[in-house]
């Protein structure tokens, strides 16, 4: 590194790559099973997806053995098949009422959630709690989870591979909670569980259905993520109408 300009551009590159923390002088290389062979791209890609498929199958097998939420939490905490765990401080499993009628699903833990080890405890979580109280619900009434259980570095969007590996754990939480209603907070959660790529603007505002692995259907509603609302206040009116839909459905059930 020759001069200040080089250092500045290196730091900028780190930030773009999602580095938001340093943990020593030495460069740390993930020692996961996803170390790519120094061979052509096609071969590397195949190797990576095979690892993902194997991790996903392993996650599924582990889930099938977990018959309670606390067993499942233990399984997730011991799971090493998701590379996000290497950079996260905590495993952020779902939290809330195990008998909840309604389950909220976000995308991934942020910095506060990673520090504390619980979902939605930062600014987005405080807004979510206000939204809940607007329909007479408290955090203790509901169950809150995320698609991935570890914070992506720099709060980047989880990759398809990370989502695929974590999804069995989320699906098992849904089975064990067995909520009457699911609310997807943002497009990532809706896309992961509905297995589509529609934008949140297309998905929100109407009842959808989530199909469980037991082939039952749970009414599901997608709405804007609280973090998006913090940046786009005018969209709160749409979320308010979504929450009124939820309230109506809860009263019908």
Q: Which residues bind ligand URA (CB under 6 A)?
A: 106-110, 113, 119-120, 122, 124, 146, 227
Instruction: Report the alpha-carbon distance of residue 203 to residue 224 in Å, rounded.
Output: 10
Q: How many CA atoms lie within 13 A of 214 on its CB side?
A: 9
Backbone angles phi, psi at 178, to 5 degrees: 50, 60
* Residue among 51 and 142 whose Cβ is closer to ligand URA: 142
* Residue among 107 and 245 whose Cβ is closer to ligand URA: 107
Name the nearest CA neighbour of 79 among 96, 63, 98. Answer: 63
Q: What kind and span of H or E run contains 184?
A: strand 181-185
- The residue of the chain with the least Cβ separation from ligand URA equals 106
Instruction: Report the alpha-carbon distance of residue 172 to residue 68 in Å, rounded.
Output: 10
* Residue among 79 and 120 whose Cβ is closer to ligand URA: 120
Name the nearest CA neighbour of 229 among 143, 100, 106, 93. Answer: 106
The distance of closest approach from Cβ of residue 13 to ligand URA in the complex, given in angstroms and rounded to an integer, is 26
* Residue among 79 and 150 whose Cβ is closer to ligand URA: 150
The distance of closest approach from Cβ of residue 89 to ligand URA in the complex, given in angstroms and rounded to an integer, is 14
The distance of closest approach from Cβ of residue 102 to ligand URA in the complex, given in angstroms and rounded to an integer, is 16
With beta carbons less than 8 A apart as the criterion, state whether 112 and 56 touch. no
Instruction: Report the alpha-carbon distance of residue 30 to residue 71 in Å, rounded.
Output: 28
* Residue among 120 and 169 whose Cβ is closer to ligand URA: 120
Instruction: Report the alpha-carbon distance of residue 70 to residue 81 in Å, rounded.
Output: 19
* Residue among 81 and 158 whose Cβ is closer to ligand URA: 158
Instruction: Report the alpha-carbon distance of residue 94 to residue 42 in Å, rounded.
Output: 37
The distance of closest approach from Cβ of residue 164 to ligand URA in the complex, given in angstroms and rounded to an integer, is 18
The distance of closest approach from Cβ of residue 122 to ligand URA in the complex, given in angstroms and rounded to an integer, is 6
The distance of closest approach from Cβ of residue 108 to ligand URA in the complex, given in angstroms and rounded to an integer, is 5
């Amino acid at each position: 590194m020759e001069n200040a300009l080089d250092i500045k551009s290196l730091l900028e590159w780190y930030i773009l790559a999602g580095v938001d923390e340093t943990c020593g002088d030495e460069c740390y290389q993930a020692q996961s099973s996803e170390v790519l062979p120094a061979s052509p791209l096609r071969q590397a890609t195949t190797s990576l997806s095979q690892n993902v498929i194997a991790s996903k199958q392993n996650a599924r097998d582990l889930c099938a053995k977990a018959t309670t939420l606390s067993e499942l939490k233990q399984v997730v905490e011991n799971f090493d098949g998701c590379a996000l765990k290497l950079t996260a401080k905590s495993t952020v499993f779902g939290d809330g009422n195990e008998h909840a009628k309604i389950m909220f699903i976000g995308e991934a833990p942020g910095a506060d959630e990673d520090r504390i080890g619980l979902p939605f405890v930062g600014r987005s979580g405080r807004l979510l709690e206000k939204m809940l109280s607007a329909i007479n619900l408290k955090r203790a009434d509901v169950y809150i989870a995320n698609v991935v259980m570890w914070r992506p570095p720099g709060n980047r969007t989880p990759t398809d591979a990370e989502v695929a590996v974590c999804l069995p754990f989320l699906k098992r939480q849904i089975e064990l909670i067995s909520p009457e209603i699911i609310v997807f907070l943002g497009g990532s959660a809706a896309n992961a569980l509905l297995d589509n790529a529609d934008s949140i603007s297309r998905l929100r505002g109407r009842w959808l259905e989530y199909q469980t692995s037991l082939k039952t259907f749970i009414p599901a509603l997608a709405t804007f993520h609280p973090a998006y609302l913090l940046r786009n206040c005018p969209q709160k009116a749409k979320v308010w109408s979504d929450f009124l839909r939820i309230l109506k459905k809860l009263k019908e059930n």
